[in-house]
């Protein structure tokens, strides 16, 4: 079949079946559209099959293993335990398959047609889809592009996914590395560093050409303390020059720090790369869809491209490569294309790290708030003074709130510790509602719970925290 022959008439087409793609398909179906979802590989996309779920399965296993070490504190007596990583990987695959089946069931329930193949634009309202033994043309009224991204290669690092691994394979190792070098400073780098260290790896973290992490300064200090406590070596401002295989340990990493070349022998290296958009074979240039200098599709606040009947979401658009961004964009895109008023805003995008203990952050850091011209107040509460954290044996961490001293508007919330990833939603909601200090201190917080740490941090802003020593409270008030 060639262009110009009969095309199949379709209403609403989504290209890509990841979290953003299938969410857009379902939302459009909920709004009465007849939807076709085109996926070239497996439903669930990179997040479910290679990214979020595999990596978080490993971090959850590391967290569970840490908890098991503390069970004797509660009077449990047990024989020595060991980890069967092959069995763990089998369970991970079972989870993935179950979730993929769940997406298929949701699509079927919403009467969404699923087509497997490679899609590309032929014109502003036509796409071609190549399958193993066929080629079809589809004409559409609206389309959402959700084809995701791929890791950017590094000229000095040749990925083989045996000893030199990318973000799609680092969580799938059946044997724990003796010495893992991690080249990166993002959430996944920290998650893999802590998780593999818990399971016995010697870990070296190299920060690529920078001397600190990109969180609030209080979190940065606590992260470095956590790495030191776990005997994880941190190399700042490193630039890898080459990675070669050797017969002694497995690999040799040549890198430079402050102009000095160094060599490090290790068994494995993980390079946590940034993502590039998967748009090369889509044919979007053929129909005039605009991209920026890095190839990301340019969209408006309704996630529409320059062609108003076509939207783009997820990793092919500018911004962090996070499923939470893609999922929110998916609903905005579908709603906008269906004629509803909807808008996408990244201002209060929560950032979470599934380490042990977990990390979560939303809004401005203390440093960014000052740079933006705010007179800043900070309130901080340590989990060591939280009763529920103590009884769980998880006293490590803190909650920090950044506020404007003049308006008392909450500007940012940063935390590390048990429950941080769930608790950050309270902070995100508060900031979306333009909460002030009194809005954080007025509600009732369940007791005993980690939630009370958020209350104490808010009360600390005004020097009224109950479980903070008076001297520290006076120090806070003296800085107002």
As annotated, the active-site residues are: 447
Both tokens of 210, joined, read 């920078």
> Rg (Cα) of the chain, in Å, rounded?
25
Give me the DSSP letters along 37-100. Answer: EEESS-TTHHHHHTSHHHHHHHHHHHHHHHHHTTGGGGT---PPP---HHHHHHHHHHHHHHHH
Is residue 339 a contact partner of residue 142, using CB atoms and an 8 Å limit? no
Peptide bond into 357 cis (omega under 30): yes
Beta-strand pair 8-9/35-39 = unpaired
Which single residue is written with the structure tokens 């906008």? 336
Nearest Cα residue to 257 out of 313, 201, 183: 183
Q: If we measure between CA atoms, which residue out of 2, 29, 5 comes closest to residue 13?
A: 29
Q: For residues 215 and 221, what is the distance between their CA atoms, to the nearest angstrom?
A: 9
Question: What contacts 190, CB < 8 A, 6 or more positions away?
Answer: 205, 213, 223, 353, 355, 359
Residue with tokens 């298929």: 104
CB 298 within 8 A of CB 344: no
Q: Which long-range contacts (CB under 8 A, 24 or more apart) does 338-347 make?
A: 338/28, 338/31, 338/32, 338/33, 338/142, 340/31, 342/302, 343/301, 343/302, 344/301, 344/302, 344/303, 345/301, 346/319
What's the distance, CA 316 to chain centroid?
Answer: 15
Longest C-alpha distance within the chain, in Å?
A: 80
52-68 and 85-109 helices cross at what angle (nearest 10)? Answer: 130
CA distance 468 to 447: 17
Pull the structure tokens for residue 177.
Answer: 């590395």
The helix/strand/coil state of 409 is strand
Going by C-alpha positions, the residue among 341, 338, 300 that lies closest to residue 318 is: 300
């Amino acid at each position: 079949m060639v262009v110009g022959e009969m095309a199949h008439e379709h209403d609403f087409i989504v290209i890509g079946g990841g979290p953003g793609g299938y969410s857009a398909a379902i939302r459009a179906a909920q709004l009465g559209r007849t939807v076709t979802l085109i996926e070239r590989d497996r439903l669930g996309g990179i997040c479910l099959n290679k990214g979020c779920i595999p990596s978080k399965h490993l971090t959850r296993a590391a967290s569970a293993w840490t908890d098991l070490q503390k069970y004797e504190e509660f009077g449990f007596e047990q024989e020595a335990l060991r980890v069967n990583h092959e069995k763990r990987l089998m369970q991970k695959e079972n989870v993935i398959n179950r979730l993929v089946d769940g997406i298929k069931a949701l699509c079927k329930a919403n009467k969404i047609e699923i087509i497997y193949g490679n899609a590309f634009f032929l014109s502003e309202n036509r796409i071609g889809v190549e399958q193993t033994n066929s080629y079809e043309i589809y004409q559409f009224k609206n389309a959402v592009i959700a084809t995701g991204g791929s890791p950017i290669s590094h000229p000095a690092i040749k990925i083989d996914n045996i000893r030199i691994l990318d973000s799609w394979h680092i969580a799938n190792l059946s044997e724990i590395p003796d010495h893992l070098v991690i080249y990166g400073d993002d959430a996944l780098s920290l998650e893999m560093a802590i998780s593999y260290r818990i399971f016995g790896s010697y870990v070296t973290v190299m920060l690529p050409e920078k001397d600190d992490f990109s969180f609030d300064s209080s979190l940065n200090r606590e992260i470095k303390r956590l790495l030191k406590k776990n005997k994880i070596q941190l190399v700042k401002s490193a630039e890898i020059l080459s990675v070669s295989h050797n017969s002694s340990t497995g690999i040799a990493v040549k890198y430079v720090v402050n102009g000095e070349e160094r060599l490090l022998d290790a068994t494995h290296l993980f390079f946590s790369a940034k993502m590039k958009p998967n748009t090369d074979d889509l044919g979007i240039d053929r129909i005039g869809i605009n991209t920026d200098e890095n190839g990301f599709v340019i969209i408006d606040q309704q996630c529409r491209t320059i062609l108003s009947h076509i939207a783009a979401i997820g990793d092919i658009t500018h911004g962090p490569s996070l499923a939470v961004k893609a999922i929110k964009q998916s609903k905005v895109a579908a709603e906008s294309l269906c004629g509803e008023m909807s808008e996408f805003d990244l201002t209060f995008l929560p950032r979470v790290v599934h380490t042990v203990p977990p990390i979560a952050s939303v809004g401005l850091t203390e440093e960014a708030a000052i740079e933006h011209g705010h007179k800043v107040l900070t309130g901080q509460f340590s989990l060591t003074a939280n009763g529920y954290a103590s009884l769980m044996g998880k006293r490590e961490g803190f909650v920090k709130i950044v506020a404007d001293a003049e308006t008392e508007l909450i500007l940012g919330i940063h935390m590390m510790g048990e429950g941080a990833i769930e608790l950050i939603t309270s902070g995100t909601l508060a900031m979306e509602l333009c909460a002030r200090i009194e809005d954080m201190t007025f509600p009732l917080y369940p007791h005993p719970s980690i939630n009370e740490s958020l209350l104490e941090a808010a009360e600390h802003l005004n020097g009224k925290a109950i479980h903070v020593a008076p001297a520290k409270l006076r120090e806070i008030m003296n800085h107002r």
